[in-house]
Amino acid sequence: MAREKKPVHRVQMTEGKRNIIHQLLEEYDIQSAEDIQDALKDLLGGTIKEMMDDVRI
């Protein structure tokens, strides 16, 4: 009994998305995977904290 393959979601790279990525690479001087992690922590840290605080109420 073979499983059906789930369709894979393909993200379409638009010019706007490409520009955002380019700006992030420049702003955070991203050279490694660790740099990406640090940038995401910086960008999303406050949002995640707020979400966690809302859950605790």
Per-residue confidence (pLDDT) for residue 57, from 0 to 100:
60
**Assigned domain for 12 exists:** no
Q: What is the pTM of this model?
A: 0.56
In a domain, 6, yes or no: no
Total structural domains in the chain?
1
Is residue 20, in this structure, part of any structural domain at all?
Answer: no
| CA 45/CA 29 separation, integer angstroms | 19
pLDDT at 2 over 80: no
One-letter amino acid of 48: I
What is the per-residue pLDDT across 5-49, written as a single tens digit (0 to 9) for each? Answer: 888 888 899 999 999 999 999 999 999 999 999 999 998 888 878
Residue from 29, 22, 28 nearest 44 by CA: 28
Q: Are 28 and 38 in contact (CB under 8 A)?
A: yes
Between CA 4 and CA 42 the distance in angstroms is: 39
